[in-house]
Amino acid sequence: VHSVASRSSSSKHLLTRSFGTESVPERKVAVLGAAGGIGQPLALLMKLNPLVSQLALYDIAGTPGVAADVGHVNTRSEVTGYVGEDQLGKALEGSDVVIIPAGVPRKPGMTRDDLFNINAGIVKSLCTAIAKYCPNALVNMISNPVNSTVPIAAEVFKKAGTYDEKKLFGVTTLDVVRAKTFYAGKANAPVAEVNVPVIGGHAGITILPLFSQATPKANLSDETIVALTKRTQDGGTEVVEAKAGKGSATLSMAYAGALFADACLKGLNGVPDVVECSFVQSTVTELPFFASKVKLGKNGVESVLGLGHLSDFEKEGLEKLKPELKASIEKGIQFANKS
Ligand code: NAI
């Protein structure tokens, strides 16, 4: 027993020396909607992230159980469950990153915009609390329709006087994850090496994967590119239909959400060259919000990168998506300002 104890304490000492927590800053991450289909696996994935020191799990019900469960995983972060609006402030206080997968998901036959009436109200109230309790946090918006919920959040923050356009992100990472998976299949490339930027927004034709910029390069036919584009745009619907009434993407979304939050944390910690696609305030097009590659830094968005060279097919897609995206943005702004 003695030798085991001394060995473990010496290896602990070594670990402290080489990967001491001194060099990894304390970071609090809050997940709002943490008991849901996305929230639960996302809570688990964030628990596995060594950059997180405190993990706050908030929902209107069910979070004590999720927190007790995830909290037993022997990784760095301390997990606390918060339930009900009375505890929202405590969940948010001191957060560096707030991830929002709260709200209802789609059922077969629904568009993301059909979720607007319920989710817009949820996002508005959660963002009002963020402005009050953690106005400096980076906000990762997952709740749909992202094309409208991000503008709603911006308006809420503007009214509260806390808006910082560098700190508000619509999470479109799942579109990138899907584009990479589908492209790797057709290009016969190792999926881990594949990169595909996805621009525009996060609904139907507003999702525009730029396969002309995909790496590694592959000589795919025009038909294949058209089919890949459509499959990426309809990826969410593919899952909604397969789940047949039991919701939309949760596991792949949790993965994508965890990837994006990790990129935000790395940026905050000063890791150089962290680039992800995200739906942010933008001047890349004439629209006030737009998804494109974004460089992440110590204050959130360090720079919004340009679109690069587009093929004729992509240029056409870009012009086609603008009216729909514009309308969704305006719908969000109007909602936030009407009440
Ligand atoms: P779900 O219904 O399984 O979970 C939603 C959770 O939000 C529930 O636990 C519910 O109690 C909670 N909730 C409701 N009102 C709340 C409030 N006021 N405060 C805190 N929590 C609240 O739904 P799921 O599948 O987890 O989806 C969540 C959202 O994510 C949906 O809006 C869905 O459309 C969206 N989504 C976004 C994707 C993206 O790529 N950005 C991909 C997939 C889904």
At residue 76, the 3 state secondary structure works out as coil
Q: Is 144 in the pocket of ligand 1 (CB under 6 A)?
A: yes
- Pocket test of ligand 1: the residue of 142, 147, 172, 175 to mutate, having most ligand atoms within 8 Å of its CB, is 142
Question: If you take atom 16 of ligand 1, which residue's CA is the nearest one?
Answer: 102
Residue 9, pLDDT score? 40
Q: What is the pLDDT of residues 10-29, one digit of tens each?
A: 444 444 444 444 589 999 99
- Of all protein residues, the one whose alpha carbon is nearest to atom 2 of ligand 1 is 104
pTM of the model: 0.94
**Ligand 1 close to Cβ of residue 105 (< 6 A):** yes
Q: Which atom of ligand 1 is nearest to the CA of 146?
A: 41
Instruction: For ligand 1, say whether the CB of 92 is within 6 Å of any of its atoms.
Output: no
What pLDDT, in 10s, does the model give residues 58-79?
A: 999 999 999 999 999 999 999 9
Alpha carbon of 105 to ligand 1 centroid (Å): 6
Tell me if 89 is assigned to a ligand binding site. no
Q: How far apart are CA 56 and CA 41, in angstroms?
A: 14
Mutational test site, ligand 1, from 31, 38, 148, max ligand atoms within 8 Å of CB = 38
Would the annotation count 17 as a binding residue? no
pLDDT, position 14: 41
**Is the CB of residue 251 below 6 angstroms from any atom belonging to ligand 1?**
no
CA of 84 to the centre of ligand 1 (A): 15
Predicted local distance difference test score (pLDDT) of residue 10? 40
Q: Per-residue b/e over 16-46, b at no fewer than 16 CB within 10 Å?
A: eeeeeeeeeeebbbbbbbbbbbbbbbbbebb
Cβ-contact 224, 57 below 8 angstroms: no
Task: For ligand 1, say whether the CB of 59 is within 6 Å of any of its atoms.
Answer: yes
| pLDDT computed for residue 204 by the predictor | 97
Catalytic residue status for 202:
yes
Whole-number pLDDT of residue 5? 37
| pLDDT for the residue 23 | 80
User: In the chain, which stretches have pLDDT less than 50?
Assistant: 1-21
Alpha carbon 211 to its chain centroid, in Å, reads 21
Query: DSSP assignment, residue 226?
Result: H
Helix (H) or strand (E) holding 274: strand 274-281
